[in-house]
Amino acid sequence: MENVLEQQLLAATQVLEQQVDAELDQLEKLDADDIEMLRVRRLDAMKRAEKQKQEWLAAGHGNYEELNDESEFFATCKKSKNVVCHFYRDSTFACKIVDKHLALLAPRHLETHFVRINAERSKFLVERLRIKMMPTICLALNGKTVDYIVGLDDVGGREDFPTEMLEWRIARAGVIEYSGDLLVPPGDHVTGGAKSFLAGSGRNKKTIRGTTDDSSGDDD
């Protein structure tokens, strides 16, 4: 896990350095003061990135965590801007498949908190969010549920879907950073489930209490 986090930080640093180097190449008449100013800006950006990383790690980001009860769900949505929460049932095999993929995605996306909660031990929350099928992945942004991934239809309708397909589907809701094309799922063609999702109009935004988002500010 530590190696993955180190690689992510190194990759982010390399991208930042490449951007600064490209700017330097385009400017032919930089004096000493200009160069020093760019150096200071680069160091400040790296410090901010490291600080943000440490804040995410302190909040539990980078791991796929188990929530013990509904109060922890609300606390997670309050503490983290981006949340991916898997409502699962132990007896449902598809939930185990989703667990495997989310465990892989958690360390890739430090900007998002990936968690799971047992639906049978959180019946109040399940009722509030109107969850009917397992697995259901709740995607929350700034304390509001902005989308749901219900079952496996949105990731191709197959149990052997790739992790990248679920990553793309989550990215469609804007709760993870994604560098690919959000209009086209990964792979050579649009699968049946993803095609149906793209053709749909999407789901209504809701607060984490399960009511339709009417901008009332009810984010408890």
203-212 core/surface letters (b: 16 or more CB in 10 A; e: else)? eeebbbeeee
Closest CA to 87 of 28, 129, 38, 31: 129
Model confidence pLDDT, tens digit, residues 86-109: 999 999 999 999 999 999 999 999
Q: How many other β-carbons are positioned within 10 Å of the β-carbon of residue 156?
A: 22
Which pLDDT value is given to residue 217?
A: 36
Domain extents in the chain: 2-58, 64-207
Residues 22 and 7: their CA atoms lie apart, in Å, by: 22
Q: Looking at domain 64-207, which CATH architecture does it have? A: 3-Layer(aba) Sandwich (3.40)
Tokens 């939930």 map to which residue? 95
Least confident of 38-42, 73-77, 179-183: 38-42
- Confidence band for 57, pLDDT divided at 50, 70 and 90: confident
- Confidence band for 175, pLDDT divided at 50, 70 and 90: very high
Contact between 143 and 207 under an 8 Å Cβ cutoff? The reply is yes
Residues 160 and 158: their CA atoms lie apart, in Å, by: 5
Model confidence pLDDT, tens digit, residues 1-31: 667 667 777 777 777 788 777 776 666 666 6
